[in-house]
Amino acid sequence: MKKIDKNGFTLIELLVVIAIIAILATISIISLSSVRLKARDVRRVADIKQVQSALELYFTYNNFYPTMITPGSSLTDGIVTYIDRVPSNPSPSSDGDCSANQNYIYTSSSDGTSYTLSFCLGNQISSLNSGEHIATPVGITNNGNEENNNNENTENNEIPPVFACGDNVNYGDEDYSTVQIGDQCWFKNNLNIGTRVDGDNNQANANSGVIQKYCYDDNTSNCSLLGALYQWHTAMAFPSSCDNHNGGSPCIVNLIHQGICPTGWHIPSDGEWTTLTRYVSSSESCNPDNGCSPAATKLKASSPLWDGTNDFNFDALPSGYRGNNGQFTHDGSRANFWATLSDDDDKSYRRYLNNGDAKVNRNDDKKIFGYSVRCLKD
């Protein structure tokens, strides 16, 4: 005779139900654990990139990297604070393929011209394999097993990203090509967003969603060919008063500053420009003030558009610029790109490439000038 409980279940049926519940609970726990591991790895990559950006800003001001950084403490030279709190490795740090229970490890070279920042990923994240990695001024090395690059080995570990560098980005009804250079993903085109205004006008406040642009010689077709030109405040999505103001509200630049770039992209910092020029010049410690030759040659478009070799498909074009009196100049011979770093109330840093010059030149210039913008992936 079967034993039946008060709810009408036989003992066997009750045991089966309990077993199913136990299996579902186990699957849920495993799934939750996998999601948490992936979230920690995503945070680790973001942490390292944040620290790299702060280190490049430090180098820009001091011409050397700090001798040490301490997780949980600020990174400062006593005058400027480059990051309020250096991030710590999320706990548990010894998960996935990471057996060592350790924090991020920073080491500066003896002469202060380079550094290494060691970290570990428990699982594969995008193009970075699981295991130990080292970040340097050039980028992040990929120290995982080569076979982990095969999609068949990662399809159960990671959901394919919605965007992969090399895909086009549609923004403002215009498609922008993208290119991977080292550990950075750049727009291959100069930004062309906004409503055209004549060069003899200053651009309007850009912090309320209104974006204005210059087209060389006030010709709209030049924006289509060369991209638009923007005053600094517009590029940063600030009020126009920020072209003569530095540091305080409402002109505060974030470490990763979106400006008028699309969501998930930002205006490159001065340090990120340094990372690019060092990578393409194959010199980890070249001084950005000296141009990191032959970086410009490798970034400029090739003949007949310009005199570069375009080794990295950056496609820099001689788009010229809008001067402080509203005139347009240097079409066909110079490219100018804004960086986020202000140097004075009315000046900010830029990178510029000249015809016949192998250097990516660096200096500060008036924020009211109209320069090109290239967006960089967060």
Q: How far apart are CA 266 and CA 274, in angstroms?
A: 16
Does some domain include residue 117?
yes
Contact 279, 138 (CB under 8 A): yes
Task: Tell me whether the omega of the peptide bond preceding residue 294 falls within 30 degrees of 0, making it cis.
Answer: yes
**DSSP type of residue 148:** G
pLDDT in the model for residue 159: 41
Tell me, what's the pLDDT at 43?
A: 85
Last residue of a domain, one of 161, 181, 208: 161
pLDDT digits (tens, 9 = 90+) for 247-291: 778 888 988 899 999 988 999 999 999 999 999 999 988 999 999
Q: Are residues 362 and 245 in the same domain?
A: yes
In this prediction, what percent of the chain has a pLDDT beyond 90? 49
Same-domain pairing of 149 and 175: no
Q: Answer whether residue 12 is part of any domain.
A: no
- For the chain, give the mean pLDDT: 85
- Higher per-residue confidence, 370 vs 151: 370
Say whether pLDDT at 242 is over 80: yes
Domain, as residue range, for 298: 169-377
27, part of any domain: no
Q: Which residues pair with 133 in a beta bridge?
A: 119
Structure tokens at 140: 């992040």
| Closest C-alpha to 199, from 318, 317, 319, 329 | 329
CA distance 261 to 130: 31
3-class state of residue 203 by DSSP = coil
In angstroms, the CA 164 to CA 161 distance is 7
Which of 58-62, 95-99, 231-235 has the highest average model confidence (pLDDT)? Answer: 231-235
State mean pLDDT over 311-339.
95
More confident residue, 347 or 131: 347
| Residue pair 337/351 in contact by the 8 Å Cβ criterion | yes
> 156 and 273 share a domain?
no
* Helices and strands per DSSP (H, E), number in the chain: 6, 19
Whether residues 244 and 97 fall in one domain = no
Residue written as tokens 């967060």?
Answer: 378
Cα separation of the two ends of the chain: 68
Nearest Cα neighbor of 111 from 59, 182, 75 is: 59
CA distance 184 to 186: 6
Q: What is the pLDDT of residue 144?
A: 41
Mean local confidence (pLDDT), 50-63: 83
Residue 10 has pLDDT above 50, yes or no: yes
Q: What is the pLDDT of residue 146?
A: 36
Residue after which a domain boundary falls, among 124, 145, 161: 161
The stretch 206-217 carries a mean pLDDT of: 92
Q: Which residues pair with 180 in a beta bridge?
A: 185
> Do 295 and 177 lie in a common domain?
yes
Rounded Cα distance, 273 and 301, in Å: 18
pLDDT at 309 (0 to 100): 96
More confidently predicted of 6 and 232: 232
Do 122 and 189 belong to one domain?
no
Backbone torsions φ then ψ of 222, nearest 5 degrees: -70, -30
- Quick one: 228 and 174 in the same domain? yes
Q: Whole-angstrom Cα distance, residue 60 to residue 70?
A: 20
Cβ atoms < 10 Å from Cβ of 131:
19
* pLDDT attached to residue 153: 38
- pLDDT for 94 equals 72
For residues 125 and 155, membership in a common domain is answered with: yes
Segments in 215-265 forming alpha helices (H): 220-226, 232-235
Q: In this prediction, what percent of the chain has a pLDDT beyond 70?
A: 85
HSE-CB at 365 with a 13 A cutoff on CA atoms is 20
Domain finish residue from 161, 186, 211: 161
Count of CB atoms within 10 A of residue 179's CB? 15
Together in a domain, 132 and 245? no
Average pLDDT over residues 181-205: 96
Shared domain check, 144 and 181: no
Residue 276 lies in a domain: yes
Pair (362, 282) in one structural domain: yes
Assigned domain for 255 exists: yes
Phi, psi angle pair for 246, to nearest 5°: -135, 125
Same domain for 134 and 204, yes or no, is no
Q: Is residue 270 part of a domain?
A: yes
**Looking at the domain assignment, is residue 51 inside a domain?**
no
pLDDT digits (tens, 9 = 90+) for 155-171: 444 444 468 999 999 99
Q: What is the pLDDT of residue 301?
A: 95
Taking only the tens place, the pLDDT of each residue in 99-130 is 765 788 999 988 888 899 988 888 887 778 88
Strand partners, 107: 116
Q: What are the pLDDT digits (tens) for 351-370?
A: 999 999 999 999 999 999 99
pLDDT value of residue 16? 66
How many structural domains is the chain composed of?
2
What pLDDT does residue 5 have?
52
In a domain, 211, yes or no: yes
